[in-house]
Amino acid sequence: MRRTASAFSLLTLGLGAFLLALAPLLAWYVEPRAERTPLDVDTTTVFTGTGSYFDTGAVRTVHGRRITVTRQVRGDVAAGEKSGRAVWDVATSVDTDATLPASDPHDALQWTRERWVTDRATNAPVHCCGEQPSFAGEAYLKFPFDVQKRAYRWWDNTLGATVTLSYRGTKRVKGHEGYRFTGTVPATRTGSRLVPGAIVGQPKRNQVLAEEWYANHGIELVADPKTGRIVYAAIGPRKTLRAPGAAKDAVVLLDSERIAFTPATQRQQVALARDDSGRLRLLGTTLPLAAGAAGLALAALGAVLVVRGRGGRGRSAGSGPSNPDSSPTVLEPSTM
């Protein structure tokens, strides 16, 4: 009687084949589609440092004062779901100790509100959905997924243009290793502003259309390699006014060598980066490897069990000799 493969062996073989098929599916299909900029982002990052700013009450520039930059990013989920893009509303406030907490933006040294729209997979800018201002480049509030060790074009909203940030190796932030990028901005004219002539050294003129100039002593960003999330940021902004056509600054509006993420913001960003990158590595590396190893083992075991179960004909208990050509021995009467 021919033996047949057991249900267990077939189930083992089938499960192994399923896991072998699942492993590349997770790595090459599921994980890349999980790399999407979130729609429902809601974060606040805080920078602090010391520097100089123009005190409108004293009508002069004061020095050695603490400066705080607060940035709130909230996703417009409805607009994002409708457009398929990441739509983020960004409010940035630059404050002194006198204007904190930043409850009224009109009291701040500077307050801006922007609307950023990006492709969720590539992080490229998308010009839709009420975007304001129109921007360009490769990196903005974050870097693209799977950050590379190369230069990136970073959008500087104060400059109104991109800045090339060069890769400078790795840096650990609160125990988390990221890719470090740096760059600078030379003094560049960014616009004009109507001010009293005395402010820019022309006291005989009531109003002067002064030139606005901007520079950055140094930009340093540390990005999580997997998600592109910024875990550390430091900037050195310098904003000044010049008399029309002048070659030198007349007054300093804001100047700091370094304003950087607070320790609390660094911990927050590192925790978010670890959580996000951990999920992506689970889908792209851990689960595929585990599924592949388990699938290979189960498929091999199932195949062995199936082959053994289907091999040859069986013998039932008490059956005769297995050789069909042999005949039974006949006993002669004399031997009985």
Share of the chain above pLDDT 70, in %: 71
Q: Please report whether residue 268 resides in a domain.
A: no
Residues 144 and 16 in one domain: no
Helix axes 7-25, 287-310, angle to 10 degrees: 150
Q: CB-based contacts of 190: which residues, under 8 Å, 6+ apart?
A: 158, 159, 160, 212, 213, 214
Residues 143 and 57 in one domain: yes
* pLDDT value of position 222: 98
Of the candidates 243, 234, 175, the residue with the CA atom closest to the CA atom of residue 213:
243
Q: Please report whether residue 148 resides in a domain.
A: yes
Q: Are 91 and 72 in contact (CB under 8 A)?
A: yes
Averaged over 206-213, what is the pLDDT?
95
Task: Output DSSP code: residue 27.
Answer: I
Q: Which residue has the higher pLDDT, 295 or 172?
A: 172
Residues 6 and 46 in one domain: no
| pLDDT (tens digit per residue) in 16-54 | 565 456 455 544 544 444 577 888 999 999 999 999 999
Instruction: List helix spans (H) across 26-106.
Output: 31-34, 77-83
Confidence of residue 104 (pLDDT cuts 50, 70, 90): low
In the structure encoding, which two tokens stand for residue 244, read together?
Answer: 């029309």
Residues 111 and 61 in one domain: yes
How many whole angstroms separate alpha carbon 248 and alpha carbon 240? 10
Residues 21 and 106 in one domain: no
Confidence of residue 5 (pLDDT cuts 50, 70, 90): low
Residues 215 and 98 in one domain: yes
Q: Which residue has the higher pLDDT, 34 or 114?
A: 114
The DSSP H or E segment spanning 307 is helix 287-310
How many whole angstroms separate alpha carbon 4 and alpha carbon 307? 9
Comparing 37-41, 241-245, 260-264, which segment has the lowest mean pLDDT? 37-41
Q: Which residue has the higher pLDDT, 4 or 157?
A: 157
Burial 217-237 (b: 16+ CB within 10 A, else e): bebbbbbbbbbbbbbbbbbbb
Residues 41 and 25 in one domain: no
In the structure encoding, which two tokens stand for residue 23, read together?
Answer: 């492993």
Q: Please report whether residue 272 resides in a domain.
A: no
Residues 249 and 161 in one domain: yes
Averaged over 247-251, what is the pLDDT?
95
Burial 8-28 (b: 16+ CB within 10 A, else e): ebeebbebbeebbebbeebbe
Residues 27 and 53 in one domain: no
Q: Please report whether residue 252 resides in a domain.
A: yes
| pLDDT (tens digit per residue) in 133-159 | 899 999 989 999 999 999 999 999 999
Residues 6 and 44 in one domain: no
Domains contained in the chain, number: 2
* pLDDT value of position 107: 74
Q: Which domain holds residue 43?
A: 35-261
Q: Please report whether residue 326 resides in a domain.
A: no
Pairing of strands 237-242, 161-173: unpaired
User: What does pTM read for this prediction?
Assistant: 0.76
Residue ranges of E strands in the chain: 42-55, 60-75, 86-96, 110-118, 152-156, 161-173, 176-196, 207-223, 230-235, 237-242, 251-261
